[in-house]
């Protein structure tokens, strides 16, 4: 009896091995595996959700595992029949936002800055004030740093930067006959030499209580160069709420 059972078991094992071999040969011949589909359209066809716990390797061949990319990169198609490739945002000339800031307070905290008076605003550097964003919502220190006390930006990675500030002036403390004048706002490179990158100047009538300026400038900066936002008015003035976003472009 023992020998008969052993022979039957042996035959069953042989059949299972034969089926497995035929299945493997079928997969090898067709080179297609379907999950939740009886008609796979590619080497691996998943008709449902796919969970990947670790790397996704692209490229390579039957003997190499391909490339899993670097942190922060994305997959880009290179067309049918070709392996996708990993790309960085910078390499594709996308805008990468590297700084977002807000000014939520009023400067100075008491009183007002002294205006230029009757002299044109363009000639009075001594009266110009730096617009300081007291809140840094986002900053990528691989590209630039920001001094929240001085309002000075310092470039860490060379390239083109798109600087877009919005600034406001508050004249509510000014008395009658003391609000009409000219406001000038500037994006200024500080080092290696002071250079006006862009500026806007607007004239305002009596009893103007607020001034609002939008600016934008795209410039190339070398490592270590600095820039800031500057404001001045002919009458006494305060600097109120505003915001800024700075984006990096591929050099």
Say which residue the tokens 């910078």 belong to.
90
Question: How far apart are the C-alpha atoms of 12 and 35, rounded to whole Å?
Answer: 28
The answer for residues whose C-beta is within 8 angstroms of residue 106's C-beta and 6 or more apart is 170, 238, 239, 240, 241
If you ran DSSP here, which 8-state letter would residue 21 be given?
Answer: H
Question: How far apart are the C-alpha atoms of 192 and 131, rounded to whole Å?
Answer: 20
Q: Is the pLDDT of residue 108 over 90?
A: yes
Identify the structural domains of the chain with CATH numbers, from first to last.
2-91 (no CATH), 96-249 (2.60.120.40)
Tell me the pLDDT tens digit for each residue of 57-87.
888 888 888 888 888 788 888 888 888 888 8
Q: Is the pLDDT of residue 174 over 90?
A: yes
Question: How far apart are the C-alpha atoms of 66 and 83, rounded to whole Å?
Answer: 10
Distances (CA, A) of 183 to 42, 100, 193, 205, 230: 65, 24, 24, 11, 11
> Which pTM value belongs to this model?
0.69
Extract the tokens encoding 245.
Answer: 């976003």
For residues 141-172, one letter each, b for 16 or more C-beta atoms within 10 angstroms of the residue's C-beta and e for the rest, the string is eebbebeeeebbbbbebebebbbebbbbbbbe
**Percent of the chain whose pLDDT exceeds 90:** 57
Tell me the pLDDT tens digit for each residue of 2-49.
444 455 566 666 666 655 655 555 555 557 888 888 888 888 888 989
Q: Is the pLDDT of residue 192 over 80?
A: yes
If you ran DSSP here, which 8-state letter would residue 125 be given?
Answer: G
Helix (H, G, I), strand (E, B) or coil at 11: helix
């Amino acid at each position: 009896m023992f020998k008969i059972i052993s022979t039957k078991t042996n035959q069953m094992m042989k059949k299972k091995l034969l089926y497995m071999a035929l299945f493997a040969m079928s997969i090898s011949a067709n080179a297609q595996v379907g999950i939740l589909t009886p008609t796979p359209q590619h080497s691996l066809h998943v008709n449902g959700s796919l969970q990947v716990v670790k790397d996704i390797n692209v490229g390579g061949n039957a003997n190499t595992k391909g490339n899993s990319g670097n942190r922060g990169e994305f997959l880009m198609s290179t067309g049918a029949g070709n392996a996708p490739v990993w790309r960085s945002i910078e390499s594709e000339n996308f805008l990468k936002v590297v700084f977002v800031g807000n000014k939520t307070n009023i400067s100075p905290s008491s009183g007002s800055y002294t205006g230029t008076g009757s002299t044109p605003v363009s000639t009075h550097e001594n009266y110009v004030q730096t617009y300081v964003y007291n809140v840094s919502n986002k900053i990528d220190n691989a590209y630039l740093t920001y001094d929240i006390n001085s309002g000075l930006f310092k470039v860490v990675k060379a390239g083109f930067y798109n600087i877009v500030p919005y600034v406001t002036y508050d004249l509510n403390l000014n008395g009658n006959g003391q609000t009409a004048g000219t406001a000038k706002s500037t994006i200024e490179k500080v080092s290696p030499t002071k250079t006006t990158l862009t500026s806007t100047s607007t004239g305002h009538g009596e009893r103007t209580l607020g001034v609002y300026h939008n600016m934008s400038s795209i410039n190339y900066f070398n490592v270590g160069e600095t820039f800031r936002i500057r404001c001045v008015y002919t009458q006494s003035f305060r600097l109120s709420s505003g915001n800024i976003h700075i984006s990096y472009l591929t050099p």
